[in-house]
Amino acid sequence: MVREYVTSVRTIGISYDASMSKKLPLIAAFCLLSSSLPLCAQKKPVNPPGTPPNRPFSSGILFGDTLYVSGITGTDASGKMPERFEDEVKQTLENITKVFTEAGFTFDDAVAVQVYLTDMTLFSQMNGVYTTYFKEPRPTRTTVGVAKLVGTARIEITVTARSAKTKKKK
């Protein structure tokens, strides 16, 4: 059994000698732990109920304690886009809420947000709705003006969230 540990220790670049006999259990535990880390942090798709099947992307990916939310627009369950911009922003954030809920996260867990607007003159209107969802301390944010988004969307938001106490849905 010691020979197996010595082989494992050598594969990570530690040479073994007799003075290490007391450290061997610790080294063995490290080897076992480090080899199992990739198993602990696997990518898990997060798609709320009602997500259209066969899309070429996931609504979110949970990797360890971090949730990466895809670019989300304001289409409602029927696929329609609200006419009023503020309603579109609200629907976009409600769609993000569904991804968060499915993964066991909240807006309080958000650490970084990217907002894409087709019309930068709508910036203050977007902020009016945005600040009702993201409370202090607010996540970092980048807002970019773009020429076009999918369909008639005027806003798309992507979020990265991290939770030290990931509350994964069972």
> HSE on the CB side for 41, CA within 13 Å?
10
Average confidence score pLDDT of the chain: 84
> Is the pLDDT score of 7 beyond 50?
no
CA distance 63 to 65: 6
Q: pTM score, two decimals? A: 0.74
- Sequence-ordered list of residues with C-beta below 8 angstroms from that of 92, at least 6 positions apart, any chain: 72, 73, 74, 155, 156, 157
Q: What is the mean pLDDT of residues 13-26?
A: 58
Higher pLDDT, 66 or 49: 66
CA distance 2 to 24: 8
The fold of the 43-162 domain, in CATH, is: 60s Ribosomal Protein L30; Chain: A; (3.30.1330)
CA distance 36 to 91: 40
| Distances in whole angstroms, Cα of residue 131 to Cα of each of 5, 14, 38, 125 | 55, 52, 37, 10
Higher pLDDT, 21 or 35: 21
